[in-house]
Structure 1
């Protein structure tokens, strides 16, 4: 290679650099924005209801022993999960066992008395047939046998009641659920004045119980789809309206409504506040954008800033619904169009921008 060629290359680069136009003095950097694509959405007419999570009707019970005594055994605490039929607590068996033993002894005596009366009546019948005894004696023996039979029947019934009394000293879970409250400690006395020992609640599914105005209640029907949200839990739970009260609450003037939602992981808590969005009417396909893309307009409307060829273009839109940082809109946009979600405020229409990646 000729030694002049490197020098010639450097000369050409220097000349090209000298021919570049100098930057304009006072030029301002372009505003920087972040964008997000328009996504497909569904336009619905809905109603938001707020209430408390509760167990289903009949799936929250308070258990109390029907016999008085000392609570000799308490096997559960609040928050424990239990299975149907599991023994949760036990009242002292002493008195109930004593009653059972007494009933067994009474039945044994009554049975013996009945056998004796039956044998005596049989002997008297033989003597009457032989003419040795009077018929009046036979009638008396038959009456004694009938009385003994009645006494034996009463003793047998008393024994059955005593056996049931022993069984009633144990508190068993009526269904699968969780212990939500314990009122009595082990060793304490329970009697008719004790409202309950433990409370068991089923947790799957749960209901959202809320109140709505009479006008709102007119649009609600069992079977309508609903999505539940709870503060602190990500995502929504799908469910439905199960019942709308037929009467107005006398105190509030509102109408009660119940919505049911599955809770297989037990992350929905009884008594917790939650809100649900009930779908009243499906309005068809729409578009979805982050709520941060919405820009208020001077005329009171709303718009988004669409980016094309490095410039923003204000596009008026109509908000159908907005929830959890996401807005469903309608307007002259297409799925996939980039709209400004950060840095779009105060930008004039057709302004140049730098899109941050």
Structure 2
């Protein structure tokens, strides 16, 4: 049995029982009858075609709303040859940088008319990464943005849809992939140069996780900048990006009376360094200057407010999506590296050393 509503364009049946006893979803033909147009016109409206008079488009949309019509996205994807979806594979959702990059990717994708499908990788193992790529292939995506270290990608047998493309974020990938990244070396160089220009004889370094490409690039640039200026290169200390690991490094640095300046590979570890120096009675910045990296929103609320290297996560996300869509449309067939510039934000955690 069905419920029938009469209109000037004839009866329209809605809520008709299907073979499984449930209600039948309204079809394009139902919408066409209700709006008094052809099914082809309904199809054009559903697909966003500009070749429909505005008054007609509004009438069709009203009919869709009234009958609860939802376009079949799978059928539309088959007809267009794409899914309007970008897959995102990401390891370590807990870091501020990754979350801000993901937020920017989602916003840029939505602005371009794409959805995203996120698959977090719980552990950086070959099986986990392979499984994520395979799953994205099953979910039907047009491109993949991978926010993870490239050695994980190189160790996998990537199972992707034939038309899919890969953009890698924050990686030392070769020409096998398009890479979008912050200019890590430029940012670290800015931090070290700032401290040397203040008059510090050398700069100590708290590096990030040893397996991290970003940590390696920042540490290499720190070392190269000191050598270029003919300065002593202290042995670096390694953390794992957490404030706790920064605190442990800060405890050791506080015991070194010759330490007057520290470049820390991220802001969270810098927070730990500040706490350790404070507890040891080493005043920042009068006795020790500290520079971080990332410019997370909380840095202006540190005590003292932290001088840090600004990463433009929004721009990184925007360029990732732009690169993926350019590949989809055949506008970018050359893999390469797109580096987003950094800037130094000077606050109250840095000053000339005593006696200057």
Shorter-chain TM range is: under 0.3
Compare CA radii of gyration and give the structure with the larger one.
1
Higher relative contact order (CA 8 A, sep 6+): 1
Larger proportion of strand: 1
